[in-house]
């Protein structure tokens, strides 16, 4: 029972660390910046005004897509790292 309580406390700590963790990802040479939490919540997206070209909206859309996808990937990897020690390397759905 004590071990379960310790595991629960460690899980709560890891979840809190993920909640407050933020990652910053840039694409397009810094034209687009995405900030995401360890819980995969987008905090902000910044776009350099020089990247806004009405004649090439597709390029800007691509840069945003790349930055958001990379941010999500990095956030998921952070979650896996935080929870890996608690799960003993097991792939438990919903936790990793």
| pLDDT tens per residue across span 47-70 | 999 999 999 999 999 999 999 999
Long-range contacts of 13-20 (CB under 8 A, 24+ apart): 14/82, 14/83, 14/86, 17/82, 18/78, 18/79, 18/82
- Half-sphere exposure (CA, 13 Å, Cβ side) for 32? 19
Q: Into how many domains does the chain fold?
A: 1
CATH of the domain at 30: 3.30.1310.10
CB 27 within 8 A of CB 70: yes
Mean pLDDT over 29-41 rounds to 95
Range of the domain at 19: 2-87
Q: Is residue 50 domain-resident?
A: yes
Query: Could you report the per-residue pLDDT of 39-48, keeping only the tens digit for each?
Result: 999 999 999 9
The 8-class DSSP code of residue 91 comes to: -
DSSP 40: S
């Amino acid at each position: 029972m004590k071990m379960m309580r310790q595991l629960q406390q460690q899980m709560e700590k890891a979840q809190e660390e993920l909640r407050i963790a933020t990652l910053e990802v840039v694409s397009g040479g810094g034209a687009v910046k995405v900030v995401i939490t360890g819980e995969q919540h987008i905090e902000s997206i910044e776009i350099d005004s020089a990247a806004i070209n009405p004649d090439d909206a597709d390029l800007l859309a691509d840069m945003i897509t790349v930055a958001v996808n990379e941010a999500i990937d990095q956030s998921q990897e952070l979650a896996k790292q935080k929870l890996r020690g608690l799960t003993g390397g097991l792939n438990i759905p919903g936790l990793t």
